[in-house]
Structure formats: C-alpha cells, structure tokens
Amino acid sequence: MGNQCEWAINVNTDEQLAASDEILARLGALHPKSIDLSLSRVNRLLKALGDPQDSLPPVIHIAGTNGKGSTTANVRAIAEAAGHRVHVYTSPHLVRFHERIRIAGQLISDEMLTDILLAVETANAGEPITFFEVTTAAALLAFSKVPADLCILEVGLGGRLDATNVVKAPLATIITPISFDHQQFLGNTIDLIAAEKAGIIKKGVPVIVGNQLGSAWQMIRRKSQALEAPMYSYGIDWHISANDKSVHFDADGKSLELPFPSLLGSHQVINAGMAITALKTQSKLIIPDAAIKAGLGWVRWPARLQNLSKSSLMRHLPVGSELWLDGGHNVAAAGTIRNFILSKTDGDRPAKLIIGMMGPKDAEGFIRPLANLVDQVIAVPIPGESGAAEPSALAATATDIGLNGVMASSIEAALDRINMEADLENPPFVMIAGSLYLAGNVLRSAGILPE
C-alpha cells in the first residue's frame, strides 16, 4: 500500500481550509461540464498517480437511487463497532467538502486534503477532467496512504461509468432500491437505469440487492449471472422486518433479533439489512452479532429525517412545533417522507413543507405524494446553486396540484411566515426537503456541521 504514513491526519486550521478551497475551485474549472460520464479521464489520472485504487483495503461498493448514503453509514457503523478502521467516500457533501472523505474513521484534515489535492492537480497537469472524477482520484489516493481494514465507496451517479467504478475486485457490491432519477444521464426507463447501476457488479463478487421493482431486479440478475456473481436479494435470500419491539433479520436459516436502527423511517430497516448482509457474506472481516446490534444503535447520517427541533432555527417557530430535514429529491424519497409525516402527525396536526430543488428534478412527482397531507408548500431558493429551480416555478407546481403554494426568500423567512400564520394551540410539523444542496444550507444556517 505504499508509504502509508506519508500524510498524517491532523487538526484542521483556517489557513489550510483556505488553501484546500482554492485548489478545489481550480479543479472545478478543468471541465466545461459538471457531469460527463466516462472512465477514460479518471483512469488516465489514476495511472499518473500510481494506480492507488489497486492499493486499497477491501472495498464495499454501493450503487442505487435511494438509500446509498444510509446503507454506507450502516456498513461503517457496524464495521467500526467490531473494531475495524474504515475509510469512506460519499457525495455530495452538505456543508464542507471534507465530509466526502473519511480516513480511518475521521473526516480528512485540511492539511491532508490540501497535500492530496496538490498531488492530484500536479499529476493531472491541467488536462480536462470533471470535478467528481478528480476528487474521486484524490479520495482513492488518500485511502491508499493510510492503513485501514475496510473501504466503502458510494457511487456518485449511475455505476457503470461512475468514477468510483475503477476497483477491479471489491469485497462486495450493494445495489440499493432503484427508481427514476437523473434520466438525462442514465436513461428514461427503469431497465436502462438498472443496467447502469448494475455496472458495478464484478466477476465472482457477491452482490447484495435491496427491494427492487421487478424489471430492475431482472436486469441485476442477468448481469450477476453473466459475471457469476453470487446474488443475495431482499425477500428471497435475506429477510428483515420490524415489529413494535425489535427488528428481525434472517438469512441462511439463522436469525438475529436487533434494535431499531437509530436512523428513522421504515425504509431504514431494509437499508440496515443490506449492510448486514454485505458484512455477513464476506470472510475477511470478523463481524460479531454484538457489533451489528451496537452499530445499528449509534449509526448517524445527516439530512435523512434529521430532527432540527432543538436547533437554533426553532427561534423562528412557535413553541411546540417540530422541525425536520430530509435531503430526498425524487418520487421514491417523497413516498418515504409522506409515510414519516403520517407517522408523526396522524393527520390531525398541520404539516408544512419547505421545498427547494435543483432544476432538472421532477418537482411535480416529488410534491404530488404529499398532497392532502401538507396544507402549505413554501418554495425557497438554494443559495449558491445556479442550477436551482426558481421558487416561483415550485410554488406554481404546488398550486397546480391543489396545494397552497407560496414563496419565501430564505429558510428563515419561510419559518417566520409559518410562525406568523400558526395556530398556537396546534403548532405545526414542518419538513424541509427537496435537495441535499438545500439541506447543506439549512445545516449551515443552524450551525450544525456533520462530523
């Protein structure tokens, strides 16, 4: 794994933060497009860096439309509860770029990030490359420099041509539930999208499959059969369910009684099941049942049904209100949010949705599942995102569906409006959703930095 102690993990400083930000800005200007799916550029850069992707700890590679981040968080929590050192690469970040790269359990330091980015920038020599490709190369280089027992790579977009898909023989792959998203890059049918996601499957490597639409599952099965990759499917090879008291996991005739995941929402039970199955089907790491139970109990993943009811933003709402945040932005995520709101309000408490979305997203498809549940939709801009949807367009979409669609200039202004119109005897339930980029701005406003 090369000189694994070449860069130490140190405490961050403001000067180093400025330096890393400057380099990231330069790297972001190397390609005219933010997304241009290809492996040729990242492979060229990795070769110039000495192919660090070939010097990683055992890798678990995760693709899918919904639940990638939460499944990643579950794998990490369980492995760390078993005493293992874990590298993690995720995207996008919410507040700071450093959130994308976790080195042996800790967010990458500014000093290490600056050194790594400079090394990558020098090796790239000004050649065109997208921001995600060049920063993925930086993460892989960082991971190759520090010893660890496991490396978790979350796909950025798709799978087959994603920059993370350069690891030749991962320990396992996971494909979380697939639904419509990024159709302009992945195709406009579930079959086409599933084919792209299944591109991470490798010959002979176990693939763990979450709850899928039938056509997506068939596409994954054909790919796994062609590559002789053992396939472990939810509802067929492994089962997980929850009752009022606990979670029950079953695979290979063996059962586990587990605590509820600390991540909220019924979908998180299946996300936990994918993580458990991936770790149980491998033999390189020892994962005791006690570690599974402990990991599920403390796993954290920001902006996924995150409770902000004790944050500084509550000063804008009447006493007794609840404030929640979710980065969900597609139809499937809207269904999850709907179920969660129902579980919290029982339909007898006013529910408000504050929404900001990126322009290409299906705003109508996201808002419609929440009709007859929320009584007001307040559309806000996403600061710093030129590709964000106009609040006026989002408010009009909500109005066309039959909801009370209005606009506000900011999250704080939206909360103030809710406060002004609230019934103090029945304070509202407020959900902020529609974009991870919006979620990042919300956490920044609340002074909450993901750790």
pLDDT 10s digits, 219-277: 999 999 999 999 999 999 999 998 878 899 999 888 999 988 888 888 889 999 999 99
Which residues lie closer than 8 Å to 380 by C-beta, 6 or more apart?
354, 355, 356, 391, 407, 408, 409, 410, 411, 413, 414, 438
pLDDT score at 252? 86
Burial class, 158, CB count within 10 angstroms (exposed 0-12 / middle 13-18 / buried 19+): buried
Give the span between the Cα atoms of 402 and 77, in whole angstroms.
42
CA-CA-CA-CA torsion sign (42, 46, 49, 52): positive
Share of the chain above pLDDT 70, in %: 95
| Residue at a domain's end among 272, 298, 324 | 298
Question: Quick one: 253 and 345 in the same domain?
Answer: no
- How many CB atoms sit inside 10 A of residue 255's CB? 11
How confident is the model over 10-21, as pLDDT tens digits?
334 455 556 899
Question: Quick one: 317 and 292 in the same domain?
Answer: no
- Helix, strand or coil, per DSSP, at residue 256: strand
Question: Quick one: 79 and 144 in the same domain?
Answer: yes
Question: Quick one: 441 and 339 in the same domain?
Answer: yes
pLDDT score at 188? 78
pLDDT score at 330? 86
Give the span between the Cα atoms of 352 and 35, in whole angstroms.
33
Place of tokens 């989002």: 394
Q: Is the pLDDT of residue 371 over 80?
A: yes
Number of domains in the chain: 2
How confident is the model over 392-419, as pLDDT tens digits?
999 999 999 999 999 999 999 999 999 9
* The two three-digit tokens of residue 374, written as one number: 């929320």
Domain that holds residue 221: 14-298
How confident is the model over 297-322, as pLDDT tens digits?
889 888 989 999 999 999 999 999 99
pLDDT score at 8? 35
| Residue at a domain's end among 298, 319, 335 | 298
| Residue at a domain's end among 298, 327, 362 | 298
Question: Quick one: 263 and 340 in the same domain?
Answer: no
pLDDT score at 294? 95
Bond prior to 302 in cis (omega within 30° of 0): no
Share of the chain above pLDDT 90, in %: 78
The answer to whether residues 80 and 149 touch, using CB atoms and an 8 Å cutoff, is: no
Which residues lie closer than 8 Å to 283 by C-beta, 6 or more apart?
none
Question: Quick one: 294 and 330 in the same domain?
Answer: no
Residue 178 DSSP symbol: -
